[in-house]
Structures are given as C-alpha cells and as structure tokens.
C-alpha cells in the first residue's frame, strides 16, 4: 500500500483536498445525537446483531485456522463476540457506528501469520489518533481506490483459500459437497440477484438480503440435520 501510494503521488493521482479542509483537533461528544428508544429500530438492530454474530463465528474460526492452523476454542469465539458488542456500545455512545468483525482481517492474518494482540493495539491506537485528529484521518482517505483495490485482491484471495482449507478438513463425501455447494449457491445467489426478495416483508429482506452468510448458515444447518 505504501509503495502504491508513493507511485500514485508521483503520477498525480492523490487528492489532498480533504486534508486541507479537515480540522486539526476534534473531541467526540458523548450522546451527540441524543437518546431515543424506538422499539422498531431496537428490534431491527437486534436481528442484525444476531446476523453479525453468525458472521463473527466464521471470521474468528477462519482467523485461528489461518493464523494458528487450529480450530478456534469456544472461549475465543465467545470472547470475540462479547468484545465486538462492547466496542459497539462504546462506539455509539460517542456518535460512532456499531462495529463488526471484518472478513478482510482474516485474509491479512492468513497472509502474514501475525495474530499478536500487541499489533491490534497499535492499529487501534492509530484509529484513535485518526478520531481525535481529523487531518490524520483525512490523510488515510486520500489513498487511491486503485491502491486499495490492488491490496484487497490478495486479501480476498487468502480469505477464499482459508475458507476452502476449513471445508476440506472434513471428508468431502457426496453429502458434504452437496450441502456446502447448495448452501453457498443459495447465499451468493440471493445477494447477487437484485429484487429477488422484494415480494417478502421488509424485515425478511433486511435479514436475508444483506449478507450471504445468513442464508448460507441456515441452509447448512437445515441440510445437515
């Protein structure tokens, strides 16, 4: 990314306008948007977080497989989900967005084999600096899309191979291949075909139409009964 950024600067493809317009210091204000209890919103977000927890189980399992070459322990999975929830609570208190586990991190861990908590703490420190010093955050946003795209190609390739590695740990019988193949096809198909769930209630569309993980997980569980 650094090399690509430097080359982009030489080619004049980096726009520094965001840095010049950003402030030097900005302190987040707790409860900036106030507090409102809206039952429908609470119900919707609760469902989304159930979906997010399902995705987190997959991400945490893939990280331990890619970084440590072993299955994730129950304590590690539960700790990761709890940590994500606590971070979301703290984030929204200061006007931020809820957090989620990101599959991109799986590819980075699988590629570098770096799974140290110290490295994560350093990354979190950089994020805090970007939050309190908007100019630093604006500097990060100047990274060209072409540079990010080149980096994510490798990352998502590693994510795919890590997932395949987890799948083939079990015997690839005709039954297992049918379950995995059909579930992946359903998950990807529903999210890739716009409007396929339009005839259903908005709640169904929100839960099943936003992420292929939900449909894939439900399909695997039902077919494996």
Instruction: Give the pLDDT confidence of 70-98 residue by residue, as tens digits.
Output: 888 888 888 888 988 888 888 888 877 78
**Left (φ > 0), alpha (ψ -120 to 50) or beta: where does 73 sit?**
beta
Sorting pLDDT into bands at 50, 70 and 90, what band is 107? confident
Report whether pLDDT(206) > 80.
no
From residue 163, how far is each of 50, 62, 112, 169 by CA, in Å? 21, 7, 16, 10
C-beta contacts of 197-205 below 8 A and 24+ residues apart: 203/44, 203/47
Task: Tell me the HSE value of 5 on the side-chain side, using a 13 A CA sphere.
Answer: 10
Mean local confidence (pLDDT), 174-196: 82
Q: What is the mean pLDDT of the chain?
A: 81
* Among the listed residues 173, 179, 171, the one whose alpha carbon sits nearest the alpha carbon of residue 223: 179
Alpha-carbon span 61 to 78, nearest angstrom? 11
The tens digit of pLDDT for each residue in 108-143 reads 787 778 888 888 888 888 888 888 888 888 888 888
Query: Is residue 149 over pLDDT 80?
Result: yes
Q: 11: which DSSP letter?
A: T
Q: What is the pLDDT of residues 30-77, one digit of tens each?
A: 887 778 887 777 777 777 787 778 778 888 888 888 778 888 888 888
């Amino acid at each position: 990314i650094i090399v690509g950024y430097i080359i982009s600067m030489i080619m004049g493809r980096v726009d520094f306008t965001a840095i010049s317009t950003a402030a030097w210091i900005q302190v987040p204000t707790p409860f900036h948007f106030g507090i409102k209890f809206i039952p429908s919103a609470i119900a919707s977000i609760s469902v989304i977080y159930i979906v997010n927890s399902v995705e987190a189980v997959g991400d945490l399992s893939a990280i331990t497989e890619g970084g440590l070459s072993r299955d994730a322990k129950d304590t590690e999975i539960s700790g990761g989900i709890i940590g994500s929830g606590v971070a979301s609570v703290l984030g929204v208190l200061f006007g931020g967005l809820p957090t989620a586990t990101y599959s991109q991190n799986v590819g980075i861990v699988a590629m570098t084999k770096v799974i140290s908590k110290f490295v994560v703490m350093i990354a979190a420190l950089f994020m805090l600096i970007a939050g309190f010093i908007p100019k630093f955050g604006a500097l990060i946003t100047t990274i060209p899309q072409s540079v990010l795209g080149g980096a994510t190609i490798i990352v998502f390739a590693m994510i795919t191979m890590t997932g395949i590695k987890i799948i083939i740990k079990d015997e690839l019988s005709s039954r297992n291949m049918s379950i995995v193949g059909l579930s992946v096809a359903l998950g990807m198909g529903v999210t890739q075909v716009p409007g396929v769930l339009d005839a259903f209630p908005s709640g169904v569309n929100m839960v099943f139409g936003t992420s292929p993980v939900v449909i894939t997980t439900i399909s695997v569980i039902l077919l494996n009964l």
